[in-house]
C-alpha cells in the first residue's frame, strides 16, 4: 500500500459570544496577518484582496445568518490593546458596538488580557477610530461593558425618497461608527416585534437599496467608511425608550439594540435639540435587549457638530469552537440560500 501525505487542514479557533442576543463570533487564532499600516487599510484589503476569510467564516456551512465575526489583529497604534475588524455577510465593516463588547468580554474572561476588578479598560484600534471599552468585572466575569464610541454626527435630517408602495418615506442619516439610515417605523402602519421580523427585514432591504442609491453618505476623513451600511427602524416607547430594529444585509434583523445605530440615532436627536450633554436614553431591540446610550460630550468641527457617545450593554460567552477547512471541501467560500438568508441572498453569492 502506498501512503500519500494528506494536505493540512486550515483551523480557526473561535470563542462564541452574544451581546443582548446578537452573536459575535470572536476569532482568537488562525486568521493570519492582515496587511495594512492602518486599520482602514486592513479593512480595504479585506474587502478587495482578502475576502476569502470572511466568506469562509460567515457563510454556510460554517456560518449562519444571525451572526457576525470579530477579527482581532495587532493594533496599528501604540495606545491600543488590539486591532478589530467586523466580518459581516456582505463585507468587512469598520465598527459594531455589540461586537466590540463581545470582543472585550472574550479577551478578559478567557485571560487573553489581564482582568482587574472592579473595572478593566481595553482600547481597540478600529477603522472608525479608537474605541475604549470599560468592563465592569466581578469574580472573573464581565457584568457589563461600556464603550466610548467613535466620533458621531448627523449627516442629514428629514430626507425623503418617493416610493409607489408607501408614498414619501422620511429618514435621517447618522454616523455612529458606520453610516445608517434611520427610518421612523410609523410610516408603514406596523411596529417592531419578534413576530414582524421577516416583514421588517424584507422592508429594510428594499429601503436600503433605494436610500443608498439616493444618499451617497461620504465620510469626511476616511473614504473606507463611506456609504450607508444598513437601515435602522425607530419607534418611541411609552416609557421614553427608543425601540430599534437594524436590518443587516442580505436580510435579517440585529438581535441587539445595535451600538452603531444607537449612536447614530443619538446624533440625530442631538441635532434636533432633544438631548443634552450628560443625559442618557435607553434603546431596546425587537427581542427586548437594552443598551444605555449617554451623550458624553459635544464639539464643533467645521460646520458640523460632532458628539461622543457611551453605549453600555451586556455579553455572555456561550461556546468554544474550531472551524476547519479541508482542502478537498467543495465549499471553501461557503454559500447563501434564500430560504435562510432572505430573497436578497442572490446579490451576495447564493449557491456559490
In whole angstroms, give the CA distance from residue 41 to residue 30.
20
Residues contacting 238, CB < 8 A, separation 6+: none
Cis bond before residue 7 (omega within 30° of 0): no
258 is catalytic: yes
CA dist 285 to 249, 293, 349, Å?
Answer: 17, 13, 29
Burial, 351: exposed, middle or buried (Cβ in 10 Å; 0-12, 13-18, 19+)?
exposed
Catalytic residue among 44, 67, 96, 201: 96
Catalytic residue among 258, 262, 281, 315: 258
19 is catalytic: no
Which helix or strand (DSSP H or E) is residue 98 part of? helix 97-109
In whole angstroms, give the CA distance from residue 181 to residue 44.
22
Task: Please report how the helices 97-109 and 259-271 are oriented relative to each other, as an axis angle in degrees rounded to 10.
Answer: 130
Name the CA radius of gyration of the chain, rounded: 20
Q: Give the CA angle between residues 116, 120, 125 to the nearest 5°.
A: 135
The β-bridge partners of 159 are 171
Q: Give the CA angle between residues 57, 40, 227 to the nearest 5°.
A: 85
For residues 116-151, one letter each, b for 16 or more C-beta atoms within 10 angstroms of the residue's C-beta and e for the rest, the string is eeeebebbbbbbbbebbbbbbbeeeebebbbbbbbb
In whole angstroms, give the CA distance from residue 212 to residue 228.
6
Residues 154 and 267 sit within 8 Å (Cβ to Cβ): yes
Residues 147 and 311 sit within 8 Å (Cβ to Cβ): yes
Instruction: Name the residues annotated as catalytic.
Output: 96, 258
Amino acid at each position: 500500500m502506498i501512503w500519500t501525505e494528506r494536505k493540512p487542514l486550515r483551523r480557526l479557533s473561535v470563542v462564541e459570544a452574544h451581546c443582548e442576543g446578537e452573536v459575535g463570533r470572536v476569532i482568537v487564532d488562525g486568521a493570519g496577518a492582515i496587511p495594512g499600516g492602518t486599520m482602514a487599510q486592513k479593512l480595504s484589503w479585506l474587502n478587495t484582496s482578502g475576502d476569502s476569510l470572511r466568506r469562509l467564516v460567515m457563510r454556510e456551512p460554517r456560518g449562519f445568518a444571525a451572526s457576525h465575526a470579530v477579527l482581532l489583529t495587532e493594533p496599528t497604534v501604540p495606545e491600543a490593546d488590539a486591532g478589530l475588524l467586523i466580518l459581516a455577510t456582505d463585507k468587512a465593516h469598520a465598527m459594531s458596538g455589540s461586537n466590540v463588547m463581545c470582543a472585550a468580554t472574550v479577551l478578559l474572561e478567557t485571560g487573553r488580557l489581564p482582568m482587574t476588578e472592579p473595572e478593566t479598560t481595553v482600547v481597540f484600534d478600529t477603522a472608525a477610530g479608537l474605541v475604549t471599552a470599560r468592563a465592569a468585572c466581578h469574580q472573573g466575569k464581565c457584568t457589563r461593558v461600556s464603550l466610548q464610541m467613535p466620533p458621531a454626527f448627523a449627516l442629514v435630517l428629514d430626507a425623503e425618497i418617493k416610493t409607489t408602495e408607501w408614498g414619501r418615506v422620511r429618514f435621517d442619516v447618522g454616523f455612529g461608527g458606520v453610516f445608517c439610515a434611520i427610518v421612523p417605523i410609523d410610516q408603514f402602519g406596523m411596529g417592531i416585534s419578534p413576530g414582524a421580523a421577516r416583514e421588517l427585514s424584507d422592508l429594510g432591504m428594499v429601503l436600503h437599496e433605494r436610500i443608498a442609491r439616493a444618499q451617497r453618505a461620504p465620510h469626511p476623513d476616511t473614504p473606507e467608511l463611506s456609504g450607508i451600511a444598513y437601515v435602522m427602524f425607530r419607534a418611541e416607547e411609552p416609557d421614553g425608550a427608543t425601540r430599534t430594529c437594524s436590518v443587516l444585509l442580505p436580510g435579517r434583523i440585529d438581535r441587539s439594540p445595535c451600538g452603531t445605530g444607537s449612536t447614530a440615532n443619538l446624533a440625530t436627536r442631538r441635532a434636533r435639540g432633544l438631548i443634552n450633554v450628560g443625559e442618557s436614553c435607553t434603546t431596546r431591540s425587537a427581542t427586548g435587549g437594552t443598551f444605555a446610550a449617554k451623550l458624553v460630550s459635544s464639539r464643533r468641527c467645521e460646520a458640523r457638530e460632532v458628539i461622543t457617545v457611551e453605549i453600555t450593554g451586556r455579553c455572555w460567552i456561550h461556546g468554544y469552537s474550531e472551524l476547519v477547512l479541508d482542502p478537498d471541501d467543495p465549499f471553501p467560500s461557503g454559500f447563501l440560500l434564500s430560504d435562510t438568508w432572505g430573497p436578497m441572498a442572490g446579490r451576495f453569492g447564493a449557491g456559490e
